[in-house]
Amino acid sequence: MAKMKKFMAVHRNPEISWKMVEENWAKSARVEEATWIRTCYNKNVGVRYCVWMAPDVETLKSVFGNLGVTYESLLEVEETIPDLWGQKWEEHLTAESKSDTLAF
């Protein structure tokens, strides 16, 4: 299996109904070639930031095309959290570099 990379998808759809967003999330959870990790969203302005694991950006483009989901941008990302900026940071980087799946 190819090493999965982490991507942030930005969806800016103020015109989309919330029912449709929820239907898309249900479909996203069943995708096999990429893994939807989580979404942060502002329902009032119609913006969603979704974290996905995929082998490459082309796979995500294909997934969204098959689902009929539009996106503003797709960007490969890395992550950090405050807890990692102590002594365990180097351990975390080493472990993550050897992992097939990256944690979020």
| Identity of residue 98 | K
* Both tokens assigned to 54: 């995929």
Please, where are the H alpha helices in the chain? 18-28, 57-67, 89-98
Look up tokens 């502002």; give the residue: 42
pLDDT over threshold 90, residue 87:
no
CATH numbers and ranges of domains, the chain: 5-98 (3.30.70.3090)
* Both tokens assigned to 68: 């009929």
CB of 80 closer than 8 Å to CB of 86:
no
State the average pLDDT for the chain: 88
pLDDT over threshold 90, residue 84:
no
* Both tokens assigned to 76: 């490969």
Residue 72: the pLDDT is 96
User: What is the Cα 79 distance to its own chain's centre?
Assistant: 12
% of the chain surpassing 70 pLDDT: 87
Residue 73: the pLDDT is 97
> Is the pLDDT higher at 64 or at 104?
64
